[in-house]
Amino acid sequence: MGLLAGIKSPEDVRRLTPDQTVALADEIRQFLVNEVSRTGGHLGPNLGVVELTIALHRVFSSPRDALVFDTGHQAYVHKLLTGRQDFSALRKQGGLSGYPSRAESEHDVVENSHASTALSWADGIAKAHQVKGEHDRTVVAVIGDGALTGGMAWEALNNIAACERRLVIVVNDNGRSYSPTIGGLANHLDTLRTTRGYEQFLDWGKRTLHRSGAPGRFAYGWLHGLKKGLKDVVAPQGMFEDLGIKYIGPIDGHDESAMEHALRRARAYGGPVIVHAITEKGRGYSPAEQDVADRFHAVGQIHPETGLPVAPSRFGWTSVFADEIVRIGRRRPDVVAITAAMLHPVGLAPFQEAFPDRTFDVGIAEQHAATSAAGMAFAGLHPVVAVYATFLNRAFDQVLMDVALHKAGVTFVLDRAGITGDDGASHNGMWDMAMLRIVPGLRLAAPRDEPTLRAALNEAVDVDDAPTVVRYPKGALVDAIPAVSELDGVDVVARHDAGEDGARRVLVVGVGSMAGTAMTTGEALAAHGLDVTVASPTWVLPVPAALVKLAGEHDLVVTVEDGVVDGGVGSMLAQRAGEQGVTTPQVHLGLPVQFLDHASRDQITTQMRLTAADATRDALAALALL
């Protein structure tokens, strides 16, 4: 691929002729379709920002001019233009990250792929430039229209507007985040999107006055009145300009020369400027352009010609939730559903179809989702807030102070809990159990299979005086693991009797998706002549009293969880056991308090010593049998 192969740095992009930039855009789109179809990744967002990103690198001088991408999943083109063109292991261990990565390049600034943060980053960088007297450096934040639904973005805009720092905000407006962007801002941008005639009309007015030869004072007054009268009708960008931020646009984001011209104007202004670019998600790839369900936002391996999956997805955890919440909705008219711009990814689309008036997508605003849910609970509803586990981190204060403090019956459903792997550090849902353990009155369920997930959801929505949480992992379902007995709410899923008097007894506890690992561990320990009980409680926080009792009946306790081990379920079990005088030694396996590089789930569990072999080895060592 001629032109792209010659791009090793942004300097090479700046040397291209205008015609060559058009050819380069075509090459990049073909490259993305070919490569991402093999590896999986965020295809649609990147196809939509090809010309925009080329223009950015032709106008600004990265890394001296910092380019900050929000949320970062649209940075594949940026990677290509900064010399990273080996996509063979994209989002795989040892390969390129699916988001900007400081370890990869000096051109990458922000690694966190949580949305609505870029403007605050840019504000901080611009302030630092000002303090250090570096007035020739510009900061550029690229933010999608969906990310502007997040409150943090507006906190940043409020501060940016009060300054004269060199800061350019590029609003990549495609009308979508995962799904169509919703809310008042979306309506405002939609108005701008469909009324592009403002500047053209003014240009016509200027040309008309010039030809008429009208006196200068009259011409100025006429033009000023025309501008004032038409501004809010033809191009209502006043919301931004009233904040004190200059507005340029809307611009066709797929016209590289027009984007370049707008960005040069913004750079020359010297203060905060919004450049409003209209783009099309999935541009240039027919299956994505024709898709209305946004299946191409992020894809697995697909056939590039058709966009169809290489291997059909197995029935997954999210599908079970999607089915069960509709069943609950039919029998419980007080149950409502809330999500934060992720209606389809978290499985709430069927609920919306069945109950459109009881489904609320609040945009990328997890804090608002949680507190709004508290208000609904106060008014007699039972809200179910469904988000990815990693995104609940953003609303911890609201869970604590708005929901729990007010004893609000709100159920939080956490998809992709635990190890998610290929999306990297910011997407692993590994913090929730250690974080939520300190919330008074909160109950948390970690179901191990389809039956326990359905049961946990039904039990959770029956709690009307405290927050409940149901967490489950990413991906396909495991085979059901039935209980062989039940002890006061704690499921025992396996017992292994050594058949010898005096055999030492080991309790293995598998939390949620680690139940299968616990089962295998139990079998391995039994082979060493040990009596083994394998337990998998669905409700793990607060720690069930029956689990503490079981711990006291054994000679060793081994816990396995896919959350942070410090402060996790095992840690809580040890604490509760100690408070009740249970002195049984315990071994806890879980994730360390560190950010995990992108890799597959199996690679991470092996690297972090979360396999059955690791649990068996640690148990035998604790019993001095190694």
HEC letters along 143-184:
EECCHHHCHHHHHHHHHHCCCCCCEEEEEEECCECCCECCCH
User: d(Cα 507, Cα 500) in Å, to the nearest integer?
Assistant: 17
Binding site residues for Mg(2+), as ranges?
Answer: 145, 174
Q: Which is catalytic among the residues 92, 165, 394, 416?
A: 394
Q: Has residue 436 got a pLDDT over 70?
A: yes
- Exposure string for 388-424, b = 16+ CB within 10 A, e = fewer: bbbbbbbbbebbbebbbebebbbbbbbbbbbbbbbbb
Catalytic residue among 366, 454, 471, 561: 366
Check if the beta carbon of residue 424 is closer than 8 Å to that of residue 597: yes
pLDDT band at 1 (very low <50, low <70, confident <90, very high): low
Specify whether the CB–CB gap between 462 and 411 falls below 8 A. Answer: no
CA dist., res. 413 & res. 55, Å (int): 41
Answer with the residue of higher pLDDT: 496 or 286: 496
* Structure confidence at residue 208 (pLDDT): 57
Q: Out of 436, 471, 506, pick the residue that ends a domain.
A: 471
The alpha carbon torsion through 137, 142, 145, 148 (nearest 10 deg) reads -60
Known binding site for thiamine diphosphate: residues?
73, 113-115, 146-147, 174, 285, 366
Residues 64, 205 share a domain: no
pLDDT of residue 222: 46
- The overall average pLDDT reported for the chain is 87
Residue 448: active-site member: no
State whether 378 and 391 are in the same domain: yes
| Structural domain includes residue 307 | no
> What is the DSSP secondary-structure string of 268-318?
HH-S-EEEEEE--TTTT-HHHHT-SS-TTSSBSSB-TTT--BSSPPPPBHH
Residue 294 lies inside a defined structural domain of this protein: no
- CA nearest to 420, candidates 453, 443, 454, 391: 391
The active-site residue, picked from 58, 79, 137, 281, is: 281
Count of the separate structural domains present in the chain: 4
Q: Looking at the domain assignment, is residue 561 inside a domain? A: yes
**What is the Cα–Cα distance from 483 to 481, expressed in whole angstroms?**
7
When pLDDT is averaged across residues 142-163 and rounded to a whole number, the result is 84
Beta partners for residue 173, in sequence order = 278
- Measured from the Cβ of residue 31, the count of other Cβ atoms closer than 10 Å reads 18
Decide which of 234, 260, 281 is a domain's last residue. 234
- Structure confidence at residue 236 (pLDDT): 45
Q: What would the mean pLDDT of 163-188 be, rounded to a whole number? A: 70
Same domain for 29 and 102, yes or no, is yes
In a domain, 308, yes or no: no
Residue 259 lies in a domain: yes
- We report the CATH number of the domain holding residue 526 as 3.40.50.920
pLDDT bucket at 201, cuts 50 / 70 / 90 = very low
Given 418, 439, 471, the domain boundary residue is 471
Residues 113 and 242 in one domain: yes
Q: Is the residue at 304 inside a domain?
A: no
Mean per-residue pLDDT for 602-617?
94
pTM: 0.84
| pLDDT for the residue 230 | 42
Residues 37 and 58 occupy one common structural domain: yes
What band does 154 get if pLDDT is binned at 50, 70 and 90?
confident
Residue 156 neighbours by CB distance under 10 Å: 24
Per the model's pLDDT, the better-predicted residue between 290 and 104 turns out to be 104
Whole-number pLDDT of residue 508: 98
> Are residue 217 and residue 189 in the same domain, yes or no?
no
Whether 281 is catalytic is: yes
Extract the annotated binding site: 73, 113-115, 145-147, 174, 285, 366
pLDDT at residue 203, rounded to an integer: 55
Name the residue type at position 264: R
SS3 category, 260: helix
Residue 332: both structure tokens together: 């419980």
Environment class of 472 (CB within 10 Å of its CB; exposed 0-12, middle 13-18, buried 19+): buried
pLDDT at 318: 94
Same domain? 347 vs 263 = no
Residue found under tokens 């604490």: 575
Instruction: Give me the phi and psi of 476, to 5 degrees please.
Output: -75, 155
Domain that holds residue 73: 2-196+236-289
Q: What is the CATH number of the domain that holds 121?
A: 3.40.50.970
Residues 267 and 390 in one domain: no
- Report the pLDDT value the prediction gives residue 249, as an integer from 0 to 100: 83
**What gap in Å lies between CA 598 and CA 423, rounded to an integer?**
6
In a domain, 301, yes or no: no
pLDDT confidence of residue 220: 47
- The one-letter amino acid at 23: A
Residues 267 and 404 reside in one and the same domain: no
Query: In terms of domains, do 348 and 443 share one?
Result: yes
Same domain, yes or no: 491 and 616: yes
Select the more confidently predicted residue: 219 or 616: 616
Rounded Cα distance between 232 and 185, Å, is 15
What is the residue whose two structure tokens read 């909160």? 442
- Residues 18 and 149 placed together within one structural domain of the fold: yes
DSSP H/E element including 195 = none
d(CA 548, CA 581): 10
| Mean pLDDT for the stretch of residues 439-443 | 97
Do the domain assignments include residue 558? Answer: yes
Whether 119 contacts 70, CB under 8 Å: yes
